[in-house]
Chains A and B, each alone.
Chain A
Amino acid sequence: MRGTRWPSLVLLLALLAAAGIIANRWFTAGPRPDPTRGFIPSRIPGELGPIMGEVMDGDTPVAGARVRFKGDLQSVLTDAQGRFRLPPPPTPSSRVTAWKEGYLIAGARADSVPLRINLRRLPAEDCERYAWVDPTPDPAARQNCGNCHGEIYREWAQSGHARAATGRHFRNLYDGTDWDGRPGAGWSLLDQHPDGAGVCTACHAPTVPFDDPAYYDLRQVRGVAALGVHCDYCHKVADAGGGTIGLTHGRFGMKLLRPPLTPTPLPSERERGKTASLLSPASGERGRGEGAQLFFGPLDDVDRGEDAYSPLYRDSRYCASCHEGTIFGVHVYGTYSEWLESPARRAGQHCQHCHMAPTGRLTNLAPGKGGIERDPGTLGNHLFFDVGLREMLRDCLQVAVELTTVAGGVRADVEVRAERVGHRVPTGFIDRHLLLVVQGVGPDGRLLPARDGPTLPEAAGRELSGQPGRLYAKLLKDFEGRSPAPFWKADPSFVDTRLHPAQPDRSAFTFPAGLDHVRVRLIYRRFWQEVVQVKRWPDNEIILLDRIVSVRQKRWSAALR
């Protein structure tokens, strides 16, 4: 009995040893250059099974790298030896991608043998001499973003980000012109606070060079910088920078990482301890080789060799350096701090959740240009107001009206609520405001003045001033008490009556007996009427609600969407 066991045991040990040697070679030996292989990738024939591989930085295993099949939602992390195991690939030609913080995304075909993914480190320093890439589609300039990302470009081109430096409202306030470009039309930052003009540039035209005269006078902005908050700028943000959100503005609050003029050495040079200068991406002529470009984004499986993942792209902090700002002492932009205090934040929702919500229309980021089909639910929109400003406002507002007969009249209780929103309403630029107008009307159609209840201030404009209603706004005054005032001339103290998310605003108005109905309106305005008239802006007002509620009906309530 004992004599028959020994040969089996020896055979088993030999098999284990052989397996160990094979496994050791698998996981420790690097791919050997095959001079005859040239451009042909290696592949294995046969059935598809679970696949194993490793992620390396040169000869060093990379632990904790995230690995997935490109376009797949499931991912795994590499172990301490840089190894990973994935289920059978969807197709033999599937790509496996890997990324870890501090590295570019890399990938390999799933049928590569051995399946080894080499990660390349990000450059250590931002290259300030980098020349920004134009987003505009242009067959003569093959690197332009819109050539491959047509749908995203079209969305962005309609957005406020594309007009940040040249939009007419902005320019009219900046240089004191009106809608038709006539000078001397009211509020003017350049006339009233010329030294302050440079402050706008960090957010409105963040790629203007510091030595460009346009930095302190955006009327002179030219070229790619005039395209405002453009693709290449946004996708060069590696992380939120230092400083203080709200006080460190725009580009100063971002950690940019632009590819170097003299990129990292090739592996063969690294071995020899030498460095060499390669193609400058600043040429505006993006090369196909490694290191020629560098983009950050919210996907960790874009393995073109020039992309890196950053979780910041799904985080409100990404938006904060421009959408939170105290300027000349006045808290002009507060959307980020409003979000910090909102129920949306407590529910884990960020700005991108609503403002870059997938449209469902986009399935391929670069169709016909190397992009793959992806789950449309994972691809955000670049319009930022996909369904339009009016619909986004209506989507978050609710109004309820209740009419009650009281001694000698009718009381109208009106409740306005902002729901499903991650900031106060309205938000953004400080002069935006919302007007609730509640007018009592008799059987003959004449307006009946309210006996009591809040009324609209002068800032609501001549037509509505004194009418029953509520103003939801940050209403600035200057140091002499005049209101409204431009923020560059304003006292930092102001009253903020805007709606809080999930908090109802209730007001009561009493109308005389004989009331037939009330007309309830909710009006959004971008600017104060007196400014609008001087500037001749044609698009100031959005009617969100215009509703008749009869005394016989007594109660009406609805979400506006």
Chain B
Amino acid sequence: MNALFTLTLALLLFGAPPEVKSPRQPHPLAPSLPQLTDEEEEELDRIIDRFIQADIGLLRGTEAQKARADFEKLGPEATFALIRGLNRAAKIEHSCPAVLIAKKLGRILGSTTDVELLDFARENIGLGVGRSRHEGVLRELRLACSLRRGRIAASAGGGAAVGPKPPRAMTVTELAEAAGSERGQRLKEVLIELEQRRGDEVIAALGTAAASYEGDIRQLARDLLTRHLARQPAAVLKEKLKDDRAEVRRAAALIIGVREPRLAGDLIELLADSEESVRAAAHQALVRLSRGVDFGPRPNAGTAEQEAAIKKWREWWARQAGR
């Protein structure tokens, strides 16, 4: 394999097959790739820069043709240079080379089994680019590296020939189970897929996930739960105010607060909910529905204040009913 890389490189860089004296050393950061000299890496950078120039219209005629052809010949040995080139194209916000290099890199990384190379790519794609309009392209490439790495690891660990079932191919029950057992990126994918399905099982699983996890997973689960409930009719929302899961009650209250003024009366009961987050959501929703009128209660209010606030809200609601 290394000898083949050497031959390809030599043909590319120098135009003639060299005498292969000894096999290349594997690259310390990616054993599947040969270690190139600094000069060879620089030459690859130059090829990619010439391609970028051609792709944005700075080269003409045979120069442009050669630049494109040289780029097309690049193989996996140019992975490091391609990552650097992608970062340069994204940094100068040139869409055409950024998308083309990303596509080429995606193909290379999508077929490698070198987890160290995938780790390197994930950590270095977008490095030093800063805020870029092309961040989406970079992010998806990093995500693809993570997914590929996960599949390889799972395959190696379980001895299976294939990776885990993609979320799109899973049933709602499988997704609901996976929402409780998966971790990291895979868990996010499972939750996102779950949200697009239908049924009580979805709401229950998202509610459980929102309560079970911390940090960004918790926030994602909450967002997805809110998004999912927002598609439900008023009758379902009303029912979910009495759900066993606090996260579900909380999300239902918030949605009613922006969409269902007729259910304002049902929110009042939740001001005495056992969960602080539900009480706060119900209060917030009532203030919104009343267009800024606020009868409380304050956060952490005592029972007396809570009861007083509930009484005032009920009176307010009775007045609204007459309108």
Q: How far is it, in angstroms, between the C-alpha of A268 and the C-alpha of B284 when the chains are bound?
A: 8
Q: How far is it, in angstroms, between the C-alpha of A266 and the C-alpha of B286 when the chains are bound?
A: 12
Contacting residue for B223 out of A128, A129, A243, A276, CB 8 A: A129
Across-interface contacts of B319 in A (CB, < 8 A) = 36, 38
Q: Is B137 an interface residue (CB 8 A)?
A: yes
Across-interface contacts of B96 in A (CB, < 8 A) = 199, 247, 249, 326-328
A129-B223, A247-B93, A276-B284 as given contacts; A285 in contact with B259, CB under 8 Å: yes
Identity of the chain B residue whose Cβ is nearest the Cβ of A493 in the assembled complex:
B60
Q: Is A277 an interface residue (CB 8 A)?
A: yes
Interface string of A265-284 (1 = CB under 8 A from B): 01111001010111110111
Interface pair A289/B320, CB less than 8 Å apart: no
Q: How far is it, in angstroms, between the C-alpha of A282 and the C-alpha of B220 when the chains are bound?
A: 13
Interface pair B100/A199, CB less than 8 Å apart: yes
Across-interface contacts of A278 in B (CB, < 8 A) = 226, 254, 257-258
Across-interface contacts of A491 in B (CB, < 8 A) = 60-61, 64-65
Q: Is A242 an interface residue (CB 8 A)?
A: yes
Across-interface contacts of B293 in A (CB, < 8 A) = 33-35, 37-38
CB distance from A489 to the nearest CB of B (A): 10
Interface string of B25-61 (1 = CB under 8 A from A): 0000000000000000000000000000011111111
Q: How far is it, in angstroms, between the C-alpha of A39 and the C-alpha of B95 when the chains are bound?
A: 51
Interface string of A282-294 (1 = CB under 8 A from B): 1111011111100
Identity of the chain A residue whose Cβ is nearest the Cβ of B316 in the assembled complex:
A38
Across-interface contacts of B94 in A (CB, < 8 A) = 243-244, 247-248
State which of B5-13, B227-235, B265-273 sits at the interface with chain A.
B227-235
Q: Is B323 an interface residue (CB 8 A)?
A: yes
A266-B287, A276-B281 as given contacts; A493 in contact with B139, CB under 8 Å: no
CB distance from B286 to the nearest CB of A (A): 11
Identity of the chain A residue whose Cβ is nearest the Cβ of B255 in the assembled complex:
A279
Q: Is A453 an interface residue (CB 8 A)?
A: no
Interface pair B292/A279, CB less than 8 Å apart: no
Q: Is B291 an interface residue (CB 8 A)?
A: yes
Across-interface contacts of B257 in A (CB, < 8 A) = 278-279, 289
Interface pair B223/A38, CB less than 8 Å apart: no
Across-interface contacts of B54 in A (CB, < 8 A) = 329, 492
Q: How far is it, in angstroms, between the C-alpha of A284 and the C-alpha of B222 when the chains are bound?
A: 16
Q: Is A444 an interface residue (CB 8 A)?
A: no
Interface pair B254/A279, CB less than 8 Å apart: yes
Across-interface contacts of B226 in A (CB, < 8 A) = 261, 277-280, 283
Q: Is B174 an interface residue (CB 8 A)?
A: no
Q: Is B140 an interface residue (CB 8 A)?
A: yes
Q: Is B308 an interface residue (CB 8 A)?
A: no
Chain A 475-502 residues near chain B, CB threshold 8 A: 479, 491-493
Interface pair B284/A284, CB less than 8 Å apart: no
Identity of the chain A residue whose Cβ is nearest the Cβ of B192 in the assembled complex:
A129
Q: Is B4 an interface residue (CB 8 A)?
A: no
Across-interface contacts of A276 in B (CB, < 8 A) = 254, 280-281, 284
Interface pair B93/A244, CB less than 8 Å apart: yes
Q: Is B62 an interface residue (CB 8 A)?
A: yes
Q: Is A195 an interface residue (CB 8 A)?
A: yes
A326-B57, A492-B57 as given contacts; A248 in contact with B133, CB under 8 Å: yes
Q: How far is it, in angstroms, between the C-alpha of A7 and the C-alpha of B281 when the chains are bound?
A: 61
Of A36, A196, A278, the most chain B CB neighbours within 10 A belong to A278
Q: Is B151 an interface residue (CB 8 A)?
A: no
CB distance from B131 to the nearest CB of A (A): 9
Q: Is B301 an interface residue (CB 8 A)?
A: no
CB distance from A352 to the nearest CB of B (A): 24
Contacting residue for A492 out of B59, B95, B230, B299, CB 8 A: B59
CB distance from B80 to the nearest CB of A (A): 19
Q: How far is it, in angstroms, between the C-alpha of A492 and the C-alpha of B292 when the chains are bound?
A: 62
Contacting residue for B137 out of A33, A196, A210, A284, CB 8 A: A210
Interface residues in B, total, Cβ within 8 A? 60
Chain A 4-43 residues near chain B, CB threshold 8 A: 33-40
Q: Is A331 an interface residue (CB 8 A)?
A: yes
CB distance from B240 to the nearest CB of A (A): 14
Q: Is B294 an interface residue (CB 8 A)?
A: yes
Across-interface contacts of A267 in B (CB, < 8 A) = 292
Q: How far is it, in angstroms, between the C-alpha of A38 and the C-alpha of B222 when the chains are bound?
A: 31
Interface pair A288/B259, CB less than 8 Å apart: yes
Contacting residue for B230 out of A211, A272, A279, CB 8 A: A279
Q: Is A330 an interface residue (CB 8 A)?
A: yes
Q: How far is it, in angstroms, between the C-alpha of A216 and the C-alpha of B136 when the chains are bound?
A: 14
Of B59, B92, B230, B323, the most chain A CB neighbours within 10 A belong to B230
Contacting residue for B323 out of A39, A211, A261, A493, CB 8 A: A39
Chain B 240-293 residues near chain A, CB threshold 8 A: 254-255, 257-259, 280-281, 284, 287-288, 290-293
Q: How far is it, in angstroms, between the C-alpha of A248 and the C-alpha of B137 when the chains are bound?
A: 13
Q: Is B148 an interface residue (CB 8 A)?
A: no
Chain B 77-102 residues near chain A, CB threshold 8 A: 92-96, 99-100, 102
Across-interface contacts of B59 in A (CB, < 8 A) = 329, 492
Chain A 311-352 residues near chain B, CB threshold 8 A: 326-331
Identity of the chain A residue whose Cβ is nearest the Cβ of B290 in the assembled complex:
A38
Of B228, B229, B231, B288, the most chain A CB neighbours within 10 A belong to B288
Across-interface contacts of B103 in A (CB, < 8 A) = 195, 198, 216
Interface pair A285/B292, CB less than 8 Å apart: no
Interface pair B93/A242, CB less than 8 Å apart: yes
Across-interface contacts of A211 in B (CB, < 8 A) = 140, 143
Q: Is B238 an interface residue (CB 8 A)?
A: no
Q: How far is it, in angstroms, between the C-alpha of A250 and the C-alpha of B134 when the chains are bound?
A: 11
Of B133, B259, B295, the most chain A CB neighbours within 10 A belong to B133
Interface pair B258/A289, CB less than 8 Å apart: yes
Interface pair B259/A289, CB less than 8 Å apart: yes
Contacting residue for B254 out of A199, A277, A282, A288, CB 8 A: A277
Identity of the chain A residue whose Cβ is nearest the Cβ of B65 in the assembled complex:
A479
Interface pair B93/A266, CB less than 8 Å apart: no
Across-interface contacts of A398 in B (CB, < 8 A) = none
Identity of the chain B residue whose Cβ is nearest the Cβ of A269 in the assembled complex:
B284
Q: Is B104 an interface residue (CB 8 A)?
A: yes
Q: How far is it, in angstroms, between the C-alpha of A558 and the C-alpha of B65 when the chains are bound?
A: 45
Across-interface contacts of A285 in B (CB, < 8 A) = 230-231, 259
Interface pair A279/B61, CB less than 8 Å apart: no
Interchain Cβ contacts under 8 Å between A and B, 21 examples = A36-B319, A199-B96, A243-B95, A247-B93, A247-B94, A248-B95, A252-B133, A252-B134, A266-B284, A278-B226, A279-B226, A279-B254, A283-B227, A283-B229, A283-B231, A287-B230, A290-B288, A326-B56, A479-B61, A479-B64, A491-B61
Q: Which 6 A-B pairs have the closest CB atoms?
A: A289-B258, A243-B93, A283-B230, A287-B258, A249-B95, A210-B140
Residues of B bordering A, CB below 8 Å: 54-62, 64-65, 68, 92-96, 99-100, 102-104, 133-134, 136-137, 139-140, 143, 219, 222-223, 226-231, 254-255, 257-259, 280-281, 284, 287-288, 290-295, 299, 312, 316, 319-320, 323
Residues of A bordering B, CB below 8 Å: 33-40, 128-129, 131, 195-196, 198-199, 202, 210-211, 216, 241-244, 247-250, 252-253, 261-262, 266-269, 272, 274, 276-280, 282-285, 287-292, 326-331, 479, 491-493
Apart from A198-B99, A278-B257, list 14 A-B contacts with CB within 8 A: A35-B293, A35-B295, A36-B319, A38-B323, A39-B290, A39-B323, A262-B223, A267-B292, A268-B284, A268-B292, A278-B226, A285-B259, A288-B258, A328-B55
